[in-house]
Structure 1
Amino acid sequence: MTSTPPTGEKQEFNRSGLESLLTRRFFISPAFDIYNGVAGLYDYGPNGCAIKANLINFWRQHFVLNEDMLEVDCTSVTPEQVLVASGHVAKFSDNMVRDEVSKQYLRADHLLEDHIKKLLKDPKNTKEKIAEYEHVLAKAGDYPLKQLQETLNKYAVKSPEGNPISEAKPFNLMFKTQIGPSEGSVGYLRPETAQGIFVNFAKLLEYNGSKLPFAAAQIGNAFRNEIAPRSGLLRVREFTMAEIEHFVNPLDKSHSKFSEVADQLVNLLSAEAQDGDKKIIVMTFGEAVKSGLINNETLAYFMARTQSFLHTIGIKPNHLRFRQHQANEMAHYASDCWDAEIRSSFGWVECVGHADRSCFDLTSHAKASKKPLEVFEPFKNNEKKVIDIIKVDVNRGVLGKTFKGSAGEVSEYLKTVGENHELAYNFQKDLEAKGSVVIAVNGNEYIITKDMVTFKQDKKTISGSTYVPHVIEPSFGLGRIIYSLLEHSYWTREGDANRGVLSLPPIIAPVKASVLPLVNNEKLLPFIQQINKSLKEQGISSKVDDTGVAIGRKYARTDEIGIPFAITIDFQTVDDQTVTLRERDTTKQIRIPITELSLTIKKLCDHLIYWSDVVAKYPAYEPQAESK
């Protein structure tokens, strides 16, 4: 992977250089390092924490504040019945194999991918073989268990040590725990933050005046017990998510602000292209919706807002694309899904998922909890309508005799059938045609016969429609975004491969300004305190470096941390109350009065002015070559 620093020259990306910098400057560190660490667990140091906090603050501003979202903060420990209803207990798994010699567990699709990458390096490969291998490589992560096992067998895949492996089998990724002392109270650490929003839907709807559309948002940690974590922050066992659930009328997925983003260009990799030429389509969001490539305006609107967010924090536009889920990887309940993928030295990495989840979640939780999670929408102008309905009366005596202790739940189910005219009509039609109908209630099947129910045609006056909303979900993996941003920001000074720079935008940079006395001298001390206080009053984070090293070394430290502006206090400051202000990427410096310093940096950080404006306004300062 090559990178293009702000200075314009192309250079090969140096991952080991970045990782060394991140460790040395304590951005991140393996958790419990003094005990040799635990795979997939990382700690954020002071610089990493600051970047993460800045990212979250800007996310809140960009989405929660600007889109009038309702923010919640739900618990991480989740009762089992909630995750049974959502489908996580049954299906939230990855496939794993075991090294039959070392007994180490390995993620099966990753093992297959690594094996195929080795096969691709064979210089004797024909074009046909290369195409075959590339197809397997692209599809490995989406293979169902049976196809995955067949592919492992076909290519005689072994463990990294060359040992035979076991048959692949699913492994549920949730951390299981016990809530309280009772052994029957099972819980899990949440694998995503979304379920807390869904179970609070009724309260959120009421808070919003019972009006749709509206969006709820949550930022918090999620937990996945990865089989064999790798790739640093890209695949971990505890991570921070920022998720949005935008609830809409299923018959109207337009968005009132879509016109604001319709003309923005976007890089799209469609599901069809992934099986063909793999060519990126560049078009506007408006064109994508009009052509049907993106399912609806609301989904496209949030994709556009995500793109704007990622560009603003420093993700390079040519390293960002949206990839559509193919049929074999899309959730059964979803009608369209697009992943915002960022290219890094690890390849294209999913960082933000965008899904039209239909009404699956609310319907599942309503059924399991027996609490309605729906919306009543009055007709316009207080209009009333008369509709045909079918009443379903239950013969309790026959049900009780037939199903005994289960008769109650069967009766409740049949009542819900009667509340839906179309469902009741089809149920009656099937029962009359076949004589019996099999229903599934809470995982159990029951045979309903004609003598158990009676159907009556009736009419009902209604003043509005009741429906279960659909939900559009953007889901952000903040750790993956942070790592990708650090890669995109990292480069080295020309002629000095050991002098790393993080060109983080001011809005994300862990510290906005460094305060650097040229030398340790008592005459400069009052100015350090004055400037530092002035910066803090403007809400600008700063870092004083009053060590005895040369100013060039201080600038190098500033660059490695990603601090965009450096303030140098020298003996001219004592004479005329001015300081040197240096911009990180260009290393250009100007001379500015102390009285104008803090407000100028504040405007730069808020994008109210640009560095070119500052250079045009203030006199240039030409430093010694070694101090740049």
Structure 2
Amino acid sequence: MNPHKNIYFIDMLSGLHQSPIISNLKTLSVIIGTISPISPIQPQIILRRNFISPMAEESLRRSLAEKQSTIEARGNAIRELKSSGASKSEIDDAVKALNALKLEKTSIENQLKASISSSGGGDTNDAFRQAVVNTLERRLFFIPSFKIYRGVAGLYDYGPPGCAVKSNVLAFWRQHFVLEEDMLEVDCPCVTPEVVLKASGHVDKFTDLMVKDEKTGNCYRADHLLKDYCKEKLENDLSISADKAAELKHVLAILDDLSGEQLGAKLKEYGIVAPDTKNPLSDPYPFNLMFQTQIGPSGASTGYMRPETAQGIFVNFKDLYYYNGNKLPFAAAQIGQAFRNEISPRQGLLRVREFTLAEIEHFVDPDDKSHPKYSEVANLKFLMFPRGEQLSGQSAKRLSLGEAVSEGIVNNQTLAYFIGRVYLFLTRLGINEERLRFRQHLPNEMAHYAADCWDAEIESSYGWIECVGIADRSAYDLRAHTDKSGAQLVAQEKFAAPKEVEKLVITPVKKELGLAFKGSQKMVVEALEAMNEKEAMDMKAALETKGEVDFKVCTLEKTVTIKKSMVSISKEKKKEHQRVFTPSVIEPSFGIGRIIYCLYEHSFYMRPSKAGDEQLNVFRFPPLVAPIKCSVFPLVQNQQYEEVAKQISRSLTAAGISNKKDITGTSIGKRYARTDELGVPFAVTVDSTSSVTIRERDSKDQIRVNVDEVAAVIKEVSEGRCTWADILQKYPAHTSASADDEN
């Protein structure tokens, strides 16, 4: 069967309003870029995107600028003809030529508008998003928190179906990672003492740059204002030159790397003001995103609502390592709430102040980052966006994980293994694999201690959204907590026989350093002791030849002079019975709310009713995550049928299958439409006391099954032990008139 037989393609450049298919639509909310793979059975309305390359867009902008210059020159020439008393026919010919140029300019503008809209912006994405959000709110998947009090930005409640979807996603996460990978799960407090987050760096560095309206005091994220300005200019100001467009694109590319001063300079250069009042803005300054609180009634102990769940795992490493039999590698996992006091929350469910994280910390020997199950994912092939392609302006490409590791694109096998497992997790949830990519962090995004870092990004109506981060954080976290707490968060490898090893010994002379650096002595000592072997031996050689050397102390953010009398550096041979080391950490971190929102968009589509007079909303959730697995309907209001429906519902519940009865007197078609809008994959219709029909949501195919077999059939297909196609082969199709009673 041709999978595209019943798909209506509507070209973006054609008259959308003229299409009989969408004449009744209030919004153009069915977009090819925003729905998941198409059922081969049901007709759906899809908007075909017209993608254009950056070079082609630049060419259009240059053509537009040239055409505008020509029009202005021709206009001046006509004015000169009129002032010089030229003949009417000569002037008419010149005006005719000018009008032709204006038509050509309009054509180029239309092409440029279409290219910008098709590349991710424009009204189509907004209309689709609004259709999804309206459906989610109306069916209580989520609700703005404290709505009767006008709500609070960045806070949302999950309603009954939203809670069920979230619960199913988290249950699958536990199955896919915690159980299958034999992880140790912990549950730590949301309130975290300041000392913990001081050690991790959050107190000093967990900030965004903020600006204030100088008259009203309203606050805005500085980078968001600059980003909005650049995007608005690129999308809507067709008069800007190609050079200016290139400059704005460059600003967008380096936005995350701009300092406060650079960001402030750009805001002033572009004349950016407060969006609501048009008032001038303050200079950008850092704002810490953590919610601060006091622990205990005295207020003497400061704490914060945790911005992530990882620190609870790191501080428990010593006990978890013991629980695991003092063996590496092992992983610990945690699901819990995290809190970030966003300056100006936007993008709906994607940027909120309280959210659910699911994080894994996989502890591994830094000298051996191989993984015993790596071969299980090495052949997976999907969209990857290495930093080389990003820096050279290329697009994401399909790569197998095996290729990526062998070519050195992905740093090590364990990191690659978790990238593969994340890919399988997301696609099994229902994320469209064509709109999922793994993007490698650029050098300016990487922490200095990280060995490698990738983001799983999902395309939505907002663009590419980071939903999972998979990072090799080296040994930074455990070392930071070791230094701050004094607890030795280390692992041991016992040797079968003693080994003679050559060890680097760095001995700072604290008396000399104290005299030279006074209050900064501790940071200089720590920096000296943290040198790797090459740095230390280079320093030793320089001290022996010159007597002093310049040394950069990162924590002081300056270079100091180290003299020969201040430090002793040597190599000593020792016999050791064990190796003591700080493990490296591979960290996959999942933004559960972001994943669920993208799943909503990827699952949503609209299809015409049987009569063709309206569009019906459908969520194409896989049974794995559907909020309700099965609905049960008596065909008509009949006591016998209702008793059978209750019996079937009880058997489904006993089998662990969530279900919902609907004994209202509305037509069966309307009841199907209601449950399709909730994403319920199967509907049981009771039309006799001995056998019933089971309808599949997307194909709308129906089969007839004996009453006592219903629970077993639904359980088998909803748990993935067989497919709907397998069921169709096993049970007779139901083709009566009632089967087609679709509203």
Mapped pair 1:579 → 2:692: yes
> 1:394·1:411 contact (CA, 8 Å) conserved in 2?
no
Shift of 1:402: 6.4
Shift of 1:615: 1.5
Q: Matched residues in 2 for 1:505 and 1:33: separation?
A: 31
Partner SS state of residue 191, structure 1: coil
Shift of 1:153: 2.5
Matches within 5 A, 1:542-561: 542-561=659-678
Q: 1:437 to 1:108 in 2, by over 3 A?
A: closer
Mapped pair 1:532 → 2:649: yes
Q: Matched residues in 1 for 2:715 and 2:530: separation?
A: 63
Mapped pair 1:181 → 2:294: no
Shift of 1:391: 7.0
Shift of 1:503: 0.5
> 2:527·2:553 contact (CA, 8 Å) conserved in 1?
no
- Residues 73-82 or 452-461, more deviating: 452-461
Q: Matched residues in 2 for 1:237 and 1:209: separation?
A: 38
Shift of 1:143: 2.7
Q: Matched residues in 1 for 2:535 and 2:393: separation?
A: 44
Partner SS state of residue 170, structure 1: strand
- Residues 609-618 or 335-344, more deviating: 609-618
Shift of 1:272: 2.5
Q: Matched residues in 1 for 2:447 and 2:527: separation?
A: 29
Q: Matched residues in 2 for 1:234 and 1:484: separation?
A: 9
Q: Matched residues in 1 for 2:377 and 2:718: separation?
A: 25
Provide Cα deviations, 1:149-206, integer angstroms capped at 9, x if missing partner: 2322232222213322111111110011111123331110110111111111111111
Shift of 1:464: 2.4
Shift of 1:216: 1.0
Match of 2:629 in 1: 512
Q: Matched residues in 2 for 1:299 and 1:442: separation?
A: 29
Shift of 1:388: 4.4
2:272 paired residue among 150, 157, 160: 157
1:125 paired residue among 207, 226, 240: 240
> 2:642·2:663 contact (CA, 8 Å) conserved in 1?
no
Provide Cα deviations, 1:341-377, integer angstroms capped at 9, x if missing partner: 0001111100001111111101111001111111111
Q: 1:60 to 1:480 in 2, by over 3 A?
A: same
Match of 1:57 in 2: 171
Q: 1:385 to 1:238 in 2, by over 3 A?
A: same
Match of 2:54 in 1: none
Q: 1:293 to 1:402 in 2, by over 3 A?
A: closer
Q: 1:84 to 1:447 in 2, by over 3 A?
A: farther
Q: 1:140 to 1:393 in 2, by over 3 A?
A: closer
Shift of 1:122: 1.5
Q: 1:514 to 1:383 in 2, by over 3 A?
A: same
Q: Matched residues in 2 for 1:119 and 1:448: separation?
A: 52
- Residues 331-340 or 272-281, more deviating: 272-281
Shift of 1:128: 3.3
Q: 1:270 to 1:437 in 2, by over 3 A?
A: closer
Which AA in structure 1 matches 2:638? N
> 1:265·1:285 contact (CA, 8 Å) conserved in 2?
yes
Mapped pair 1:460 → 2:460: no
Shift of 1:33: 0.8
Shift of 1:311: 0.5
Match of 2:190 in 1: 76
Q: Matched residues in 2 for 1:619 and 1:530: separation?
A: 22
> 1:413·1:441 contact (CA, 8 Å) conserved in 2?
no
Provide Cα deviations, 1:506-549, integer angstroms capped at 9, x if missing partner: 00000100011122221223212210111011110001111221
> 2:349·2:597 contact (CA, 8 Å) conserved in 1?
yes
Q: 1:401 to 1:517 in 2, by over 3 A?
A: closer
Q: 1:175 to 1:11 in 2, by over 3 A?
A: same
Match of 1:368 in 2: 484
Which AA in structure 2 matches 1:11? I
> 2:168·2:627 contact (CA, 8 Å) conserved in 1?
yes
Q: Matched residues in 2 for 1:198 and 1:589: separation?
A: 52
Mapped pair 1:289 → 2:409: no
Provide Cα deviations, 1:481-510, integer angstroms capped at 9, x if missing partner: 000000010111134654100000000000
Mapped pair 1:305 → 2:421: yes
Match of 2:683 in 1: 566
Shift of 1:141: 3.8
Which AA in structure 1 matches 2:265? E
Partner SS state of residue 15, structure 1: helix
Shift of 1:140: 2.3
Provide Cα deviations, 1:87-141, integer angstroms capped at 9, x if missing partner: 1111111111112233210111111111112211212233333333233233324
Shift of 1:258: 1.0
Match of 2:55 in 1: none
Provide Cα deviations, 1:47-78, integer angstroms capped at 9, x if missing partner: 00000000000001111111111111111111
Matches within 5 A, 1:157-236: 157-161=272-276, 162-236=278-352
Q: 1:499 to 1:384 in 2, by over 3 A?
A: same
Partner SS state of residue 149, structure 1: helix
Mapped pair 1:479 → 2:479: no
> 1:193·1:218 contact (CA, 8 Å) conserved in 2?
yes
Give RMSD over aligned pairs.
Answer: 3.1
Number of aligned residue pairs: 620
Q: Matched residues in 2 for 1:438 and 1:122: separation?
A: 50
Shift of 1:280: 1.2
Q: Matched residues in 2 for 1:392 and 1:358: separation?
A: 22
Match of 2:499 in 1: 385
Which AA in structure 1 matches 2:249? E
Mapped pair 1:110 → 2:224: yes
User: Once the two structures are aligned, what percentage of the paired residues are identical?
Assistant: 49
> 1:5·1:491 contact (CA, 8 Å) conserved in 2?
no
Which AA in structure 1 matches 2:418? F
Provide Cα deviations, 1:301-340, integer angstroms capped at 9, x if missing partner: 1111111111101000111011111111112211211111
> 1:392·1:414 contact (CA, 8 Å) conserved in 2?
no
Q: 1:414 to 1:254 in 2, by over 3 A?
A: closer
Q: Matched residues in 2 for 1:415 and 1:169: separation?
A: 29
Q: Matched residues in 2 for 1:546 and 1:580: separation?
A: 16
Match of 1:21 in 2: 135
TM-score, normalised by the number of residues in structure 2: 0.77
Matches within 5 A, 1:415-434: 417=529, 434=547
Q: 1:390 to 1:543 in 2, by over 3 A?
A: closer
Provide Cα deviations, 1:204-245, integer angstroms capped at 9, x if missing partner: 111111111111111101000000000111000000001111
> 2:211·2:282 contact (CA, 8 Å) conserved in 1?
yes
> 1:314·1:505 contact (CA, 8 Å) conserved in 2?
yes
- For structure 1, the residue ranges without an aligned partner over 5 or more in a row are none
Partner SS state of residue 344, structure 2: coil
- For structure 2, the residue ranges without an aligned partner over 5 or more in a row are 1-30, 48-124
Which AA in structure 2 matches 1:534? S
Mapped pair 1:327 → 2:462: no
Partner SS state of residue 283, structure 1: strand
2:432 paired residue among 310, 316, 321: 316
Larger Rg: 2
Q: Matched residues in 1 for 2:469 and 2:319: separation?
A: 26
Q: 1:274 to 1:391 in 2, by over 3 A?
A: closer
> 2:473·2:587 contact (CA, 8 Å) conserved in 1?
yes
Which AA in structure 1 matches 2:443? A
- Residues 53-62 or 273-282, more deviating: 273-282
Partner SS state of residue 443, structure 2: coil
Q: Matched residues in 2 for 1:269 and 1:293: separation?
A: 10
Mapped pair 1:37 → 2:151: yes
Partner SS state of residue 493, structure 1: strand
